[in-house]
Amino acid sequence: MIVINIIKSMRPRQWVKNLFIFAPLIFSKNVFDFQLLLKAIFSFVSFCLLSGAVYILNDIKDIEEDKLHPLKSRRPLASGSLRKEHALASFFILSILGFALASILNPVFLLSVFIYFVIQLLYSFWLKHVLIVDVFVIAAGFLIRVVAGGVAIEVSLSSWLLICTILLSLFLAMSKRRHEIILLEENASNHRPILAHYNPYLLDQMIAVVTASTLISYCLYTISEETVAKFQTKNLIFTVPFVLYGIFRYLYLIHQRYEGGSPEALIIKDKPLLVDIFLWIVSVVIILYVKW
């Protein structure tokens, strides 16, 4: 039972975020290179272990605040089904395993995961209480995943890919903050003090900026000379409709259904969004890997 609660505290659903690690593998056209695929999988597992460790430590720190949250109160630590000493021990074990696995790949990847780990710890204890910086730190986590994915297989990364990643992750982070304010209402600041400085109108303005920026950046990425020269095709432009639909669908879900608090769970349970992401991946793979 303890092991099950520890795994739950690692938040397996949130491991979906670590799939960003595979972006460099896909866009470097190395998906079918077994050795590089294996390295990408190792890097994915390393991030899952370390991110799981950070989630456990965060739950230990925020146990009292989580008890006030209608959903987070069900977590093992907040509900009392997992003891603090067991959670703390699992934090150290998972951290050691994560860094040990990262060291197998290469020193630069190990440095990348170390930076990710330190930033996440700073976020848990300090940065999540700093206005606007909190959402940038969340976005930085996605960006580091992509960079680490490139470092793990030792391929160069497009500047456009990095720009699109950070803009999309800002969009998700701001949507998450908006959902927390709407869900918790007057109790929002009690659960997370930084929410007292946000309001739906401000977040809607910020979301509008990053939404437009994300779409424009992705469109420019598909038609840039660098991209066309690298992939020897102009057809990536045909993947834009899937990106448009995905963002519009997500906006619909956060505004009309008041969701978005857990992007990874939303992606899994919303079938139209899941199908759209699948079709985008399929279209990218066909365009990049099939000879026309």
Residue 114 belongs to a domain with what CATH number? 1.10.357.140
Residue 261 has pLDDT above 70, yes or no: no
Instruction: Please tell me which residue, 2 or 251, carries the higher pLDDT value.
Output: 251
Kindly state the average pLDDT of the residues 262-290: 86
The confidence band for 185, taking pLDDT boundaries of 50, 70 and 90, is: low
Kindly state the average pLDDT of the residues 239-268: 82
Average pLDDT, the chain: 86
| Domain encompassing residue 151 | 1-157
Q: Among 94, 126, 157, which residue terminates a domain? A: 157
171 and 40 housed in the same domain: no
Interacting residues of 241 by C-beta distance below 8 A, sequence separation 6+ = none
Instruction: Please tell me which residue, 138 or 186, carries the higher pLDDT value.
Output: 138
Q: Which of 10-19, 179-188, 193-202, 277-286 has the highest mean pLDDT?
A: 277-286
98 and 75 housed in the same domain: yes
Q: Which of 2-11, 81-90, 101-110 has the highest mean pLDDT?
A: 101-110
The pLDDT of residue 95: 93
136 and 225 housed in the same domain: no
166 and 148 housed in the same domain: no
pLDDT tens readout for residues 43-95: 999 999 999 999 888 888 877 776 766 667 777 777 777 788 888 899 999 99
Percentage with pLDDT > 70 across the chain = 92
> For 80, left (φ over 0), alpha (ψ -120 to 50), or beta?
left
246 and 280 housed in the same domain: yes
